[in-house]
Amino acid sequence: MAYSISLAPAAVRQFRKLPSLIQHRLKPHIDSLSADPRPPGTKKMEGEAHLYRVRVGDYRIVYYIWDDEREVLLVKIAHRREIYR
């Protein structure tokens, strides 16, 4: 059973601001979260329950996973120097 993927408004804005080459590189990783929300290399973020991040080159995708509702909510998509601010 696949997870549904949602993007927070901030994540949509951050994704649209990225260069198209980076968008094309991130898109398959975002889409694959519906099949496996915890792919190899995923890290659990400290301080908040259900918050994870996945690394794609120098970029990070930060998202929540709710297993009961089978939903993934992307909250941040940015370069690693900006993501943790």
What pLDDT is recorded for position 83?
86
Q: Where are the domains of the chain?
A: 4-83
CA distance 21 to 69: 32
Total Cβ atoms within 10 A of residue 23? 14
Using CA atoms, how far apart are residues 55 and 61, in angstroms rounded to an integer? 7
Mean pLDDT (the chain) is 95
pLDDT at position 1 is 78
- Given this model, what pLDDT does residue 53 score? 96
Tokens of 28: 């398959």
Q: Tell if the pTM clears 0.95, that is, is over it.
A: no
pLDDT tens per residue, range 31-45: 999 999 999 999 999
Could you name the CATH architecture of 4-83?
Answer: 2-Layer Sandwich (3.30)
Instruction: Judge whether residue 84 has pLDDT over 90.
Output: no
pLDDT of 59: 97
The token duo for 40 is 């190899």
Instruction: Identify the CA nearest to 39 among candidates 57, 51, 52.
Output: 52
